[in-house]
Structure 1
Amino acid sequence: MIKVGITGQNGFVGSHLYHTLGLCSEEFQRIEFRKEYFETPEKLDEFVKQCDVVVHLAAMNRHQSQDFIYETNIRLVKQLVASLERTASKAHVLFSSSSQEERDNLYGKSKREGREFLINWAESSAGIFSGMIVPNVFGPFGQPYYNSFIATFCHQLTHVETPKIDNDGSVKLIYVGELVEEIIRKIRKRKNNFSYQVPHTASVKVSEVLSLLTDYKEKYFEKGEIPQLNSTFELNLFNTFRSYIVPKNYFPVKFTQHTDDRGSFVEIIRLGIGGQVSFSTTVPGITRGNHYHTRKVERFAVIRGKALIQLRKIGTDEVHDFYLDGDEPAYVDMPIWYTHNIKNIGDEVLYTNFWINEPYDPEDADTYFEEV
């Protein structure tokens, strides 16, 4: 088993890497890291000693002072190198640098020099080092006004704010899940690669991104329609957008019922994409689910009976409870990386419609079990 520690494990990329490694528990053991370790050499040494692999992601991206960004990032690398030397570590160190290395700014300079410090350590200690030069990263749970312009746009569009384009250039992007897959491939190879340009998976203008996100707001956020998704990039962008909707402020969404003397008609979902529709009956007291997805788009719609739907974001403790009643049909969508379940809390059989954007494939189910 490979023991992996991640500096910055609670950050944007770090948390995605940490939770994805948790899905491979037979191959990887995660060594816990806390940012306070950088302030205590003994704690940092204890962490490093346990690691076969150290992924150094801890860094500062934005601050009012560029000098402070530079000094912080260099200090963190130097502290890590000092610990590697004190412990005579032979760990494989992976470093997330940036495509801004060659730009005339102190953030890029801190990344370039940080990578050079780690190269020097690897050459002098016979260590293994992977210097990954990463394009712009986007994905769920990024911090607005900090991690990426996409995080900022998504936050603004879901919080009654108006996005503004300062520079409509073409941007090379990689989805955080794709970057995590790249990091894991490097961990498995365990080879020196002092300067590796991580390939981008999309190149798009800022205005094109904003146009797609605005479409998602108008169709999904305001009308509940799943938009047409024409590529993996658009699916990833849509799931990123959905992650900025606060579940407790948005769900459950009540359907419009059309009733006459024959009964009632309710439209469950309007699609710009296909997928799989199913329904279930659940007897009183039974709970279904307790699993999560990392890419799938899914909707639960209660049409008869009483249900409790619960969501909890992986890595957090807060549980969102939604009570639905077939007398007022409503739906709740399942954000990615949220474990979820549905329980019949009534006295009669619960009828639930389910829609998911891709048919079930037992060879690639994207379904991971964890109690809410």
Structure 2
Amino acid sequence: MINIGITGQNGFVGKHLYNTLGLNPEEFQRVDFENHFFEGKESLDNFVKNCDVIVHLAAVNRNPDPQEIYDQNINLVKDLVASLERTKSKAHVLFSSSSQEGKDNLYGKSKKDGRELLANWAKNNNGTFTGLVIPNVFGPFGKPNYNSFIATFCYKLTHGEIPTIDNDGDVNLIYVGELVAEIIHQIKIGETQEQYFVPSTTSTKVSEVLNKLENFKNLYFDNGEIPELKSSFDYQLFNTFRCYFDFEKHYPVQLVKNIDERGAFVEIIRLGIGGQASFSTTVPGITRGNHYHTRKIERFTVIKGKALIQLRKIGTKEIFNFELNGDEPSYVDMPIWFTHNIKNIGEEELLTHFWINEPFDAANPDTYFEVV
């Protein structure tokens, strides 16, 4: 069992890393971190003492005063180094630097200097240190106008705003799930690398990203069609995009019910990709689900009866409740990292149609049980 602590645990990358480590409780024990630990030596020392591995992600990357960015980031590193020395820690420390290291700005300088401070600590104390130089990271739950231009584009497209491009340059990207996998890989290796350049997984132009997102907006957000997804990047971008919906306003989406003398016809889903379609019947009072996925795309459509669908983002307490009625067929899509369920709240049998983008694979199910 490896005890792992993450400074900046509740930040964009930190939360993804924390949640992913939680999927392997027999291998990793998470040591909880709170931001106020940096405000007192005792609390920070107690945190450091309990860690076999420390992933230092806490940092500031937006501030009107660039000097404030530099000073705050360097002070965080200095505080961590001082705690490591006071506790005589032998923890493996991993530091998130940035590809901005090579640019002429104080944020990039704070990352470069911070990495070198930790590398010197490791040299002087026979420690283990990995300095990760990370390209542009994107993924679900990034803050718009803060973490990534992709987060900003996704938010604007799903909230009635029009994204603009200031500089249509080439950009190297890595999906947050891929970055987390790389961090875990480096933890398992456990070797000192003062400057390790994390490889990007996608190179593209800002305008090409925006074109894809606008297509998702037109096909999926406006019309409910799952678009054709040709690459891993397309899947990653699509799963990122659909986490920015205002769920309470968007769901449930009512379907068009075409009625003639023969009865009714309702189109449930239009696809640019394949997947698996199924249906279930549920007796009154019974709840199905209470699990979440980290990559799958899934749609629940109520055809008959009354249902309550609930969603809760992993690591949070807020629950989204949606009541659906088969008399007015409608659907709710399940965003990744949201545990979800469906309950028959009516007096008759509930009939639900399910579509998911990949058939169930017992060897790689991507299904994690947690009560909403």
Length-normalised TM-score, structure 2: 1.00
> 1:23: how far off?
0.3
**Rounded Cα–Cα distance in structure 2 between residues aligned with 1:199 and 1:100:** 14
**Deviation string, structure 1 residues 255-296 (Cα, Å, up to 9, x no partner):** 000001211000000001111101111111111000000000
Counterpart in the other structure of 2:192: 192
**Deviation string, structure 1 residues 70-108 (Cα, Å, up to 9, x no partner):** 001000000000000000000000000000101000000
**Is 1:152 matched with 2:152?**
yes
Counterpart in the other structure of 1:98: 98
3-state SS of paired residue (1:366): coil
**Structure 2 unmatched runs, 5+:** none
Amino acid at match of 2:58: A
**Rounded Cα–Cα distance in structure 2 between residues aligned with 1:164 and 1:63:** 21
3-state SS of paired residue (1:278): strand
Counterpart in the other structure of 1:210: 210
3-state SS of paired residue (1:245): coil
The CA RMSD measured in Å over matched residues stands at 0.5
**Rounded Cα–Cα distance in structure 2 between residues aligned with 1:348 and 1:160:** 39
3-state SS of paired residue (1:243): coil
Counterpart in the other structure of 2:264: 264
Counterpart in the other structure of 1:86: 86
Amino acid at match of 1:290: N
> 1:25: how far off?
0.5
**Rounded Cα–Cα distance in structure 1 between residues aligned with 2:86 and 2:342:** 52
Counterpart in the other structure of 1:177: 177
**Rounded Cα–Cα distance in structure 2 between residues aligned with 1:121 and 1:248:** 49
**Rounded Cα–Cα distance in structure 2 between residues aligned with 1:32 and 1:15:** 11
Counterpart in the other structure of 1:43: 43
Within 5 Å, which residues of 2 pair with 1:68-79?
Answer: 68-79=68-79
**Rounded Cα–Cα distance in structure 2 between residues aligned with 1:249 and 1:41:** 45
3-state SS of paired residue (1:277): strand
Amino acid at match of 1:139: G
**Rounded Cα–Cα distance in structure 1 between residues aligned with 2:41 and 2:56:** 16
Counterpart in the other structure of 1:131: 131
**Deviation string, structure 1 residues 135-182 (Cα, Å, up to 9, x no partner):** 000000000000010010001101111111011011000000000000
Within 5 Å, which residues of 2 pair with 1:295-334?
Answer: 295-334=295-334
Counterpart in the other structure of 1:3: 3
Counterpart in the other structure of 1:143: 143
**Rounded Cα–Cα distance in structure 2 between residues aligned with 1:335 and 1:102:** 36
3-state SS of paired residue (2:9): coil
> 1:348: how far off?
1.0
**Rounded Cα–Cα distance in structure 2 between residues aligned with 1:235 and 1:62:** 29
Q: Runs (4+) of structure 1 moved beyond 2 Å?
A: none
**Deviation string, structure 1 residues 174-221 (Cα, Å, up to 9, x no partner):** 000000000001111111111100010000100000000000000000
Aligned-pair identity (%): 67
**Rounded Cα–Cα distance in structure 2 between residues aligned with 1:84 and 1:355:** 50
**Rounded Cα–Cα distance in structure 2 between residues aligned with 1:75 and 1:294:** 35
Amino acid at match of 1:38: F
**Rounded Cα–Cα distance in structure 1 between residues aligned with 2:280 and 2:101:** 53
3-state SS of paired residue (1:133): strand
Within 5 Å, which residues of 2 pair with 1:276-295?
Answer: 276-295=276-295
Amino acid at match of 1:259: I
> 1:239: how far off?
0.5
> 1:347: how far off?
1.1
**Rounded Cα–Cα distance in structure 1 between residues aligned with 2:316 and 2:14:** 15
Counterpart in the other structure of 1:16: 16
**Rounded Cα–Cα distance in structure 2 between residues aligned with 1:248 and 1:356:** 22
Counterpart in the other structure of 1:66: 66
> 1:248: how far off?
1.2
3-state SS of paired residue (1:290): strand
> 1:121: how far off?
0.2
Amino acid at match of 1:305: G
**Rounded Cα–Cα distance in structure 1 between residues aligned with 2:240 and 2:82:** 37
**Rounded Cα–Cα distance in structure 2 between residues aligned with 1:156 and 1:68:** 29
3-state SS of paired residue (1:336): coil
Counterpart in the other structure of 1:365: 365
**Rounded Cα–Cα distance in structure 1 between residues aligned with 2:143 and 2:295:** 20
Counterpart in the other structure of 2:110: 110
**Rounded Cα–Cα distance in structure 1 between residues aligned with 2:156 and 2:288:** 34
Amino acid at match of 2:314: I
Amino acid at match of 1:44: L
**Deviation string, structure 1 residues 320-371 (Cα, Å, up to 9, x no partner):** 1100010010000000000000011111111000000111111111000000
Amino acid at match of 1:289: G
